[in-house]
């Protein structure tokens, strides 16, 4: 009689401990366990490789761009993503008809844990200026930072799928080529989505472009900031989610939904990157950025200007927003 009673007590204690642990997780939010996937050494490794001199600025159509595309594909496979383009991670396209330059997007996706016809599209362009007048434009912030965040998010959602804890919608990850050639990569992707009659199924396109610095904060006293444009394009029920996620998950970012308070610059900046292509195709589209700065399109855009702790906060905000959409 003593042994069964002791066993019952042990089971009660174990059950109580499990409930307490579950309650702690619930108090922090259901997905905080994935935050540990994003850490500085990993961010630095990705950023350093992408913006290394050996890649010669990742100009579209070069061997260097092809090397970077293979690097992204390798990580997509490692994270458990599935090919998006008829069994391939690559979508080749004609980037410039005058020169015959061919680009290629690298696209993978994480299917929903349960059948769903809803998608979230997350994009970041991996091309940059290449070599001009013998100078290498490495483009660490523009846009190795965006690709670093994209890969971290792919790892987070890939892990979620492997552990069968989600996601509840399909997530497409697209590393876009040829943004610097009139956004040819995003236009090619939109064409593919239209062919597959998918545009109405995409809840939001989240574009990540120049997201690694704290050089030009929205408010001078707070360098933990992010600029998010395009919230008005979201479904009515999704407006306000960005700020809600920032508060609920204690991310602590200073979020500006304008471009430094200027209506004209907000409208202009929104048109300067790939989100405008998705928006014009009828897809709700956001851009996450840390804005322009003195290193933009300069040879000094190297990894030493990146703030990894703040870039992690921005990554987490996109992660939670994607879950809440």
**110-122 pLDDT, tens digit each:** 999 999 999 999 9
- DSSP lists the bridge partners of residue 222 as 219
**56-97 pLDDT, tens digit each:** 999 999 999 999 999 999 999 999 999 998 899 999 999 999
**Stated pTM of the model:** 0.91
E runs forming strands in the chain: 82-83, 90-96, 101-110, 119-125, 130-132, 135-137, 170-176, 202-208, 225-229, 254-256, 285-289
Phi, psi at residue 149, to the nearest 5°?
-65, -45
- Taking a C-beta distance cutoff of 8 angstroms, is the pair 118, 181 a contact? no
The pLDDT value given to residue 307: 98
Reported as a pLDDT band with limits 50, 70 and 90, residue 274 is very high
Q: What is the mean pLDDT of the chain?
A: 93
């Amino acid at each position: 009689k003593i042994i069964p009673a002791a066993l019952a007590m042990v089971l009660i204690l174990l059950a109580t401990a499990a409930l307490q642990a579950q309650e702690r997780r619930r108090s922090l939010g259901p997905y905080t366990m994935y935050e540990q996937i994003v850490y500085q050494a990993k961010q630095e490794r990705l950023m350093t490789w992408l913006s290394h001199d050996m890649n010669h600025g990742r100009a579209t159509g070069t061997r260097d761009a092809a090397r970077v595309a293979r690097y992204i594909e390798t990580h997509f496979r490692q994270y458990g993503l599935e090919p998006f383009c008829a069994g391939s991670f690559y979508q080749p396209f004609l980037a410039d008809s005058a020169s015959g330059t061919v680009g290629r997007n690298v696209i993978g996706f994480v299917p929903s844990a349960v059948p769903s016809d809803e998608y979230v599209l997350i994009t970041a362009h991996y091309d940059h200026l290449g070599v001009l007048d013998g100078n290498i434009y490495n483009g660490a912030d523009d846009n190795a930072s965006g690709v670093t965040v994209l890969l971290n998010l792919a790892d987070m959602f890939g892990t979620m799928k492997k552990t069968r804890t989600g996601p509840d919608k399909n997530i497409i990850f697209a590393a876009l080529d040829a943004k610097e050639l009139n956004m040819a990569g995003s236009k090619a992707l939109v064409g593919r989505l239209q062919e597959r009659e998918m545009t109405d199924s995409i809840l939001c396109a989240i574009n990540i472009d120049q997201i690694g610095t704290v050089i030009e904060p929205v408010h001078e006293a707070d360098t933990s900031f992010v600029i998010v444009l395009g919230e008005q394009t979201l479904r009515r029920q999704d407006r306000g989610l960005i700020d809600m996620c920032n508060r609920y998950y204690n991310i602590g970012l200073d979020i500006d939904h304008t471009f430094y308070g200027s209506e004209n610059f907000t409208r202009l900046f929104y048109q300067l990157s790939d989100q405008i292509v998705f928006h014009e195709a009828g897809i709700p589209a956001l851009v996450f950025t840390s804005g322009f700065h003195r290193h933009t399109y300069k040879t000094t855009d190297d990894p030493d200007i990146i703030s990894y702790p703040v870039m992690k906060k921005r990554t987490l905000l996109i992660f939670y927003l994607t879950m809440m959409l």
